Every structure is written in C-alpha cells, then in structure tokens.
A and B are shown apart, each in its own frame.
Chain A
Amino acid sequence: MSKKHIIASYSNTQTFLLVALRLLLGWYFLYEGIVKIANPDWSSYGYLMDSQGFFAGIFHAMAAKANVVAAADWLNKWGLTLIGLGLLLGFLTQYALFFGMLLLIMYYCSHPPLASVTYLIPQEGSYLWVNKTLIEIFAMALLMVFPTGQIVGIDRFITKWTKK
C-alpha cells in the first residue's frame, strides 16, 4: 500500500512523461501484434531459427517442433496485442508490463547483440551488448516502479472498485 502513496506525489510533468512513455510502448506492442495477426503467413519459425548466443539451442529446439512453433506464434500474436492494449488503456497495467518484459527478455536472449554474431534479420542500427530490446526492458521496469495506470487508465476504476 505504501507504494500507492508515492504515486500520489507525481508532478504533472512527471505524470505526463511516464504516461507518454507507457502509451508509446503500448502503441509499439499493439502494432507488432496486429500486423502478425493480420498476416496469415507470419510465423515465429524464422526468428527462432535465427537465434544465436548462449540460449540458441533452446530456441532452435523450439523451432524444430511444429506444435511449439504454433504455440509461440499464438502467444506472440495475442500476447503482443493484449500487452499493447493493456499499456494503451492503462488496463491491468502492472501485469501488461510484467508479461511485456517477459517477452522482451525472451527476444533479447534469442538475439543477444554479441560481438561475435551476425543475424539474418536486417538491423537498422549498430548494437553491441545493448540494443533497443534491452532498453525497452528497462523502460518497462521503470514504469513498473512508477505506475501510472491508476492515474490515467482503466486501472483507476479498478482501484476504486476493489477498495473497501
């Protein structure tokens, strides 16, 4: 409960920037999810096969099983979409952030920007150990400790309703 008191002390600018960051991440997740749902040929197979680094074996093993690939496809499509909606609407925001981070950690582990690897996926920038996925993970962690769903978002109603 004590955390909620901290929330109450955001300044307008702080709230604005935190909410804006949440909305941008939400937009990004939502679109990534929706394009995958809209494309009947999309599959996580190529991405899994492209994995390199310490955990590559796990991701390659996943790709080798058609039913695992099908599950990964489904989880990515709907996971990304629901997380995106959650962040945009401020609905179950903390859960959306948690699962969003989980997905991002998987992406990072499957494609770590190590000095020694080159990926098939074209990259628009240059990365070494740190890439955009890692920064997003930390941005989401930041939003978890500075929550905003209860200020701007449907969570505001939930908080009120659940409060006795």
Chain B
Amino acid sequence: MKKDNKKQEIASPNTSAQQIGRRDIIKGLAAIPVLGAFSYAWLRKNNIDETYRKNMREVVNLTSQPVELAPSVKEGKPIRIGIIGFGIRGKQLMRAAGFPEPTWIDEQIKAHAENKQNTNYQDYMEQEQLNIEINGVCDIFSVYSREAAIAGSNVNREGAAGKMGKEPRQYKTYLELLDAPDIDAVIIAAPDHWHAPMAIEAAKRGKHVYCEKPVSWTVPETYELVRVVKEKGIVFQLGHQGRQTESYTRAKEAIDKNVLGKVNLIEVCTNRNDPNGAWVYDIHPEASPSTIDWAQFLGQAPYHEFSLERFFRWRCWWDYSTGLNGDLLTHEYDALNQIMNLGIPGSVASSGGIYFFKDGRTVPDVLQVVMEFPKQDLSFLYSATLASGRSRGKVIMGHDANMEISDRLVIKADPESTQYKKKIEEGLIDPNTPIYSFTPGKKGADGFATATEQYFASRGLLYTYRNGLRVDTTHLHIKEWLNCIHAGIQPSCNIDRAFEEGISAHMSTKALLENRRVFWDADKQVIV
C-alpha cells in the first residue's frame, strides 16, 4: 500500500511545457496495447464469423440477392380494362391497379397527418403506374357502381378535390361490359359463384381475364373455363397474389436444391379472430331492393328472397361462397403449389363445424383438411379457425431440415438429419440455430441475423426504409398479368394452376359436405 502513496505526476506547472520526456511517451501511449488487443479480438471474431458463414453457404447455397422487380409495363397504347365487382376486394384491386377512390386518398393523407408513422399514402404514391385505362365498370349495387366510375376516373390518384379524368362507362350487366369494343381485359371481383361464369363469357369474347380466387364455385364450370381459356388463347391470371411474395420464391429455391431432404409433411393454417375476418362485413346504409339488382346477384345460386346479410356477407353461405376452402385454404394451397409443384392431391379428407359464429351461416368457421399426395409421399395439413388469433406459420417438414415461412423464411437443420450428419457431429451446424434465414428487403441472407435483428424482423420493423419500397403484392400480380398480355404469354397463376387450385378446393368441400374421403382419378381427370 505504500507504493500507492506515490503521487501521480502529470504536466505540472513547474515542468517545461515543450519538453516531452521518455516517461511522457510511455504514459501517453500506454493504452495503445489495449487497442492492439482490441484489433486482435475483432479480427478473430470476424474470422470465426466468416468461417461459419462460409460453412453455411456450403450447406445452403441459395441466392442472396433480393428478387428483382419486373420491368415496367410497356409504354404506348394502354390496355383498356373493365372491372366487374367493386366491393371490398374490387376496391383493393383498383387501387393496386393505380385507380384509388378519391375518398381513400383523403383518408390516407389524414391518417398520415394524425400519425406520421403511417406512410400508406407515400408508399402508395410511389407505386408504379401500369399504363392502363379503366373504360368500363359494373357493380349491381348502384352506390358501388358510381364509386367505381369515380375511382376509374382518378387518373392522377388525387383526393376528392383533385382533377379527375374521363369517367368510365357504368354497365348494368357484366355481359354488356364484356361486349364493349373498347375493353381488352377484365378484372373480376364478384362473389365466388360468379367467378367462372363471368370468366368464361369474357374468354369467349377474347378478353383477357384477371379473376379473383377461387377459380370456380362448381366442378363442371371449372372444366368449361379451362377449355374456353385454352381455346381462345386469352391471358388468364388467378388472383393469388402470394405468387409475388419474395420469401416463397426463396422457399422454392430451397426445395429445388434439396436443402430439406425428403419432405413428408406440410402444415399450413389460417387464424383470424375478428368479425371482419369471419366475413361479417358492414351493411351499406343505402342498400335496398331498389339500389341492388338482386336477381343478377343470385345468378345460378338457389332462389332466396332479398337479404342484405346475404348480399354483403355472401361468404357465409354455400349458396354463393366456397367457405374457408375456397377463400383461404386456396391461398395456402397455391403458395405450396408454387413452392413444391404439388398438383392435384390423390385424396382429401375434411372436417369442421360452425363453432363460434352462430349467426345463421352455413359454412364452417373451424376447418381441417388433409390432402394426401401419394406420388410425392407427403401429406398436406390445413387447419383453420376464424375465432382465435394464435398465429401459426407455414411449416414444411423434411428429413434433413424444416422450413417455416411467414413474411420471413427460416430453415433449421434436423438433429437426426442424414445429409447434415457429419457437419452436425463436427459442430459446424447447430440444429438450434437457423442454417438459413431470409428477411425480404435485406441485402444478404444467411443464418446470421443477430437476436435483435430477428426480433425486429419478426415484428416487421426491419429494413422497411432501407432497400426501397414496400410493394403491394396484388399490384405486382396485376402487373405480371399486364406484362404477359403485352408479351402474349401466360402468367404464374395461369389456367393450369387455377385448375389445380379449383379442383383441390372442390375436393375438400366435397369431402366435408359428403363426410367422406374423396379421390382424384388422374387418368379420367375426375373427382371420385
């Protein structure tokens, strides 16, 4: 302790200011070795990280660059569009196509003024223009028809006070719209029981079709639609915008490169927990028998007297709807069909019930569907509830690894994997740590996101402002369709994929309603 009493000496007023002695140099630079140690530690850490990355790249060699945006729609003569159906989905589709309702624009501007974090308006205005014209609209509810016409004239994407362009013509029936010579292509967003009849009539007239999912309401019309679309050679796109999701593209690459080994089980889900998610939509105050063409709404559906519930909440009745099977199972099925080329299942079993929304509906709000794909040696399990928000991702289970897909994509090796056995034993792969993780918008992709990054990414808080825009997948899906019309080729969710989607959904509905397992006879191309 005595040594401690020796006082430290620094530049005391008595020492000459200019003179720096050996002692000063030693003391002045005494911390340099610590910097040396820091550099060593840092290089070593980099080295370890790089070795790990290199290893992972050897194991999972997937593209690390973001999926590139498709080229802009061709300039010159615009494609002339008609829209049939301007309900919730119709409005979204028109917006995605670049024709928002002026009132929607005003709402977004207001929302941004109230909350600067809400950048919907800014994001929307950055959405690319698709070089189309809206020449005709048709909705059998006069209020929606009028709204569609106004949206169709909103060429500059302005609010109510803005300058509108030429208003598209309002048609009382879809057939009149389809007969119009100034319409090249139609977007169909009518209820399920109208999808195929409208698409068939459009195709017969040589009009290109973007049709909302599911492709059809009955089995026979599905065959008819395929026949007419192929015969007429029109460009058909089914509205599964998931086709444009970046993580699905990456998931497909992982499957193609056999990263998961032999896949034997797929688990996909729907979880919603609010009336809107359960199709209990608002009833418009101006809706009445005088503003709605009820007879046209019914179409091929069984007769029922005028009902506002049935008109606005048609998804709740088999009379017009395809239930969870057509509305939500199809999204999951199409995602997996895109990733794994599933095709039509060999057999389907299904069960469920109306367990929560006892509001007079006839379609279940809880549903399980099991599809068997004997050719691929795998089962596809769909599980849905409209009354619990417990979120479950899409999980693809393989012998060597499993993959979970949400907005992100995470692959983890299986501890008992054959393919990775050696690397696991050598400690080069840790089954508890992702061997690959991908977050849309992030430049690189590897299994190396820090814990913090992973937390942020899972809440969608990462990279939002970094690598360009947040792009609406529906917009991209319409854009692909338009590009294909210009190029004369078929898009990603073409009529063949639509047929597979439609038949798979019909098989699950049939299995549920007939309370039996139904089979696909691939030779005869019929459900048995």
**Residue positions of A touching B, CB distance < 8 A:** 4, 7-15, 19, 23, 26-27, 30-31, 34, 38, 40-41, 43, 45-46, 49-50, 60-61, 63-66, 69, 85, 88-90, 120-122, 150-154, 156-157, 159-164
Cβ-based interface call for B303 (8 A): no
B443 within 8 A of partner (CB): yes
- Give Cα distance in the complex from A163 to B16, angstroms: 9
- Are A150 and B465 interface neighbours, CB within 8 A? no
Bound-state Cα–Cα, A69 to B463, Å? 11
- Cβ-defined contact, A161 with B17, below 8 A: yes
Q: Could you tell me the distance between the alpha carbons of A24 and B48 in the complex, rounded to whole angstroms?
A: 23
Interface centre among A46, A153, A154 (most CB of B within 10 A): A46
Cα distance, A163 to B13, chains bound together (Å): 8
Give 24 A-B contacts (CB < 8 Å), ordered by A residue. Answer: A4-B11, A7-B10, A8-B9, A9-B7, A11-B4, A11-B7, A12-B6, A27-B34, A30-B38, A31-B42, A41-B443, A43-B463, A46-B453, A46-B456, A60-B117, A69-B465, A120-B455, A121-B455, A122-B455, A156-B28, A157-B24, A160-B11, A160-B17, A160-B19
Give the CA-CA distance A104 to B34 in the complex, in Å: 23
| Chain A min CB distance to B383 (Å) | 28
Nearest-neighbour CB distance to chain A for B116, whole angstroms, equals 4
How far apart are the CA atoms of A85 and B42 in the complex, in Å? 14
Nearest-Cβ distance from residue B16 to partner chain A, whole angstroms: 9
Which residues of chain B are near A8, meaning CB under 8 Å? 7-10, 12
Is the pair A12, B10 in contact by a Cβ cutoff of 8 Å? no
Q: Assess whether A11 is in contact with B119, with CB atoms less than 8 Å apart.
A: no
Q: Which residues of A contact B28 (CB under 8 A)?
A: 90, 152-154, 156-157
Report B447-496 residues with CB < 8 Å from chain A CB. Answer: 451-453, 455-456, 459, 461-466
Give the nearest-CB partner of B9 in chain A: A8
In contact, B10 and A151 (Cβ under 8 angstroms): yes
For residue B5, CB closer than 8 A to chain A, the reply is yes
User: Which residues from chain B sit less than 8 Å from chain A, CB to CB?
Assistant: 3-12, 15, 17-20, 24, 27-32, 34-35, 38, 42, 46, 116-117, 119, 442-444, 451-453, 455-456, 459, 461-466
Q: CA of A38 to CA of B452 in the docked complex: distance in angstroms?
A: 16
Given A10-B7, A63-B117, list of 20 further CB < 8 A pairs? A8-B12, A10-B8, A11-B4, A11-B6, A12-B6, A19-B31, A23-B31, A27-B34, A31-B42, A34-B42, A65-B116, A69-B465, A89-B31, A120-B455, A120-B456, A151-B10, A152-B31, A156-B27, A160-B17, A161-B17
Complex Cα–Cα for A160 and B16 (A): 8
State whether A23 touches B10 (Cβ < 8 A).
Answer: no
- Of A46, A69, A163, the residue contacting B462 (CB under 8 A) is A46
**Chain B contact surface mostly:** loop
Decide if A41 touches B11 in the complex (CB within 8 Å): no
Q: Which one of B5, B8, B34, B451 contacts A151 once the chains associate, using CB atoms below 8 Å?
A: B8
List the B side residues contacting A159 at CB < 8 Å. Answer: 10-11
A151 B38 Cβ-Cβ under 8 A: no
* Residues of chain B contacted by A45 (CB below 8 angstroms): 461-466
Q: CA of A163 to CA of B10 in the docked complex: distance in angstroms?
A: 12
Bound CA–CA A145/B400 (angstroms): 60
Q: Which residues of A have CB within 8 Å of B7?
A: 8-11
For chains A and B in complex, what number of residue pairs have CB atoms within 8 angstroms? 129
- Say how far A98's CB is from chain B's closest CB, in angstroms: 19
Whether A43 and B466, one on each chain, are in contact in the complex, defined by CB atoms closer than 8 angstroms, is yes
From known contacts A12-B3, A27-B38, A46-B461, infer whether A153 and B455 are also in contact, taking CB-CB under 8 Å.
no
Q: What is the CA–CA distance of A120 and B34 in the complex, to the nearest angstrom?
A: 34
Query: 5 closest A-B pairs (Cβ-Cβ)?
Result: A163-B17, A46-B456, A11-B4, A156-B28, A64-B116
**How far, in angstroms, from A122 to B31 measured CA to CA in the complex?**
33
The winner among A4, A19, A152 for most chain B CB atoms within 10 A is A152
Contact B24 A160 (CB under 8 A): yes
The answer to whether residues A64 and B17 also contact, given A23-B34, A43-B466, A121-B452 and a CB cut-off of 8 A, is: no
User: Nearest chain-B residue to A60 (Cβ)?
Assistant: B117
Chain B residues with Cβ under 8 A from A19's Cβ?
Answer: 30-31
Measured CB to CB, the nearest residue on chain A to B29 is A154
Decide: A156 and B10 in contact? CB cutoff 8 A: yes
In whole angstroms, how far apart are the Cα atoms of A11 and B9 in the complex?
A: 10
Closest residue of B by beta carbon distance from A63: B117
Asked if A151 and B17 sit within 8 Å, CB to CB, the answer is no
Question: What residues of chain B lie closer than 8 Å to A89, measured between beta carbons?
Answer: 31-32, 35
Name the residue in B7, B28, B116, B452 with the highest tally of chain A Cβ atoms < 10 Å from its Cβ: B28
Complex Cα distance, B453 from A28, in Å, reads 20
Query: Which B-chain residue is minimally distant from A89 (CB atoms)?
Result: B31
Report the minimum CB–CB distance from A50 to chain B (whole Å). 7
B68 CB → nearest A CB, Å: 18
**Min distance, Cβ B140 to any Cβ of chain A, angstroms:** 42
Contact: A41 with B444, CB < 8 Å? Answer: yes
A90, B117: Cβ atoms closer than 8 Å: no
Q: Which of A9, A41, A50, A150 has the largest count of B CB atoms less than 10 A from its CB?
A: A41
What separation, in Å, do the CA atoms of A121 and B462 have in the docked complex?
12
Q: Are B452 and A31 in contact (CB under 8 A)?
A: no
On chain A, the residues within 8 Å of B453 by CB distance are: 46
In the complex formed, the residue of A with least CB distance to B112 is A64
Residues in B with CB closer than 8 Å to A50 are 456, 461
Contacts of B463 in A (CB 8 A): 41, 43, 45
